[in-house]
Structures are given as C-alpha cells and as structure tokens.
Amino acid sequence: MQLPIIWGLYNVLNNVVHKSSNELVGYINGIVLPQLRLDSAWETTFFGLPLGQSPSQLMNTMAIVAISIPVITGVLQFLQSKMIFVSPPKIPGKKNDDFATAFQTQAAYIFPIMIAFFSFTLPAGLSLYWNTFTIFGIIQQYKIGGWGGLAQLWQKVKTLQKK
C-alpha cells in the first residue's frame, strides 16, 4: 500500500530539489487557482536536514545524522516486524519444519536491513515519511495486539542478562 506513495513522494522530492525555484514556482502557479498561487519557493529542509538528499550524499557534511536515519529506520522496522509476528508455542517432541514460520523468522531480520539500506540511498524525506508511519504502525499494533512477538524477544533478552 505504501509503495506507490513512496514512489510519488520520491518523484516530488526529486523535482523540487532539482528544479530552480523560479521554474518550480512558475510551474505550480500555472496549474493552481489564482488564490493559491505562490510568491516564492518553499523551504526543502526539515530542522536543517535537506529532504531531497540521501544520507549517502550527506556523509561529508552531516555524518551522524546520515548514519542515524537509516539505523533508526531499520530499528523501527525491526520492532514493528517483531510485534506483528508472534512465534507459535513449541510443542515438546514435535519438529517444527513449517516453511511459513522459517520465512517469517528470516523476514523479521532481513527486511529491516533492506529497508535501512534503501533509506540510506533514497532521499531523507522518504525515510522520515517511512519512520513516521512505522511509529504510527507500532502504536496501532500495540493497541490491537499488545507487544506481540516483541514481548517474547524481551523475555529472551532478560534471561540472557541473568546468565
């Protein structure tokens, strides 16, 4: 569902960043009602972060921010995927060779890494969009099903700390 929105947002960010402000204002003023016409181009930064540049492009100027955006994106995606996927209870003596369970376990680790890589190479505005909706997804998942599989992961971490 979000993929078409991300593609559209990518194209918008690309056009806003790569066109000159006069050209962009002229284009927008040509398609909107007279009451909605712009006097000047808008700011394309968010708290000093250029939304049209990818974290890989920001490595020379904003290294900490450039690294933290994909890391935060990956961590949020991991948390959401662990909340959604609850491991089935283990029955003693039964071998668990279910393909769906194996894929689900791998996906919970691989997809957040892939999304973190994508957020490193795509514009920062897309990563902020993705993070915002992931946070809302985590809140929604918590309201619907509680901590889900994240509670199981937390129990494993607590038992490892006791050892």
The pTM assigned to this predicted structure is 0.68
* Residue at 48 is within a domain: no
d(CA 135, CA 141): 10
Looking at the structure, tell me whether residues 107 and 35 fall in a common domain. Answer: no
* Residue at 156 is within a domain: yes
User: 3-class DSSP state for residue 138?
Assistant: helix
Neighbours of 68 (CB within 10 A): 12
Looking at the structure, tell me whether residues 16 and 74 fall in a common domain. Answer: no
- Per the structure, the complete domain to which residue 81 belongs is given by 53-86+98-163
* Residue at 144 is within a domain: yes
The percentage of the chain sitting over the pLDDT mark of 70, rounded to a whole number, equals 75
Looking at the structure, tell me whether residues 13 and 74 fall in a common domain. Answer: no
Interval 20-40 mean pLDDT:
68
Looking at the structure, tell me whether residues 133 and 155 fall in a common domain. Answer: yes
Looking at the structure, tell me whether residues 10 and 78 fall in a common domain. Answer: no
Condensed to tens digits (0 to 9), the pLDDT of residues 81-118 reads: 888 877 666 666 666 667 777 777 788 889 999 999 99
CB proximity list for 78: less than 8 A, separation 6 or greater: 108, 109, 112
> Above 80 in pLDDT, residue 54?
yes
Condensed to tens digits (0 to 9), the pLDDT of residues 64-77 reads: 988 999 999 999 99
* Residue at 92 is within a domain: no
Range from 30-39, 108-117, 153-162 that averages highest in pLDDT: 108-117
Looking at the structure, tell me whether residues 107 and 136 fall in a common domain. Answer: yes
Q: Tell me what pLDDT residue 99 has.
A: 72
Q: For residue 1, name the pLDDT band (cuts at 50, 70, 90).
A: low
Domain count, the chain: 2
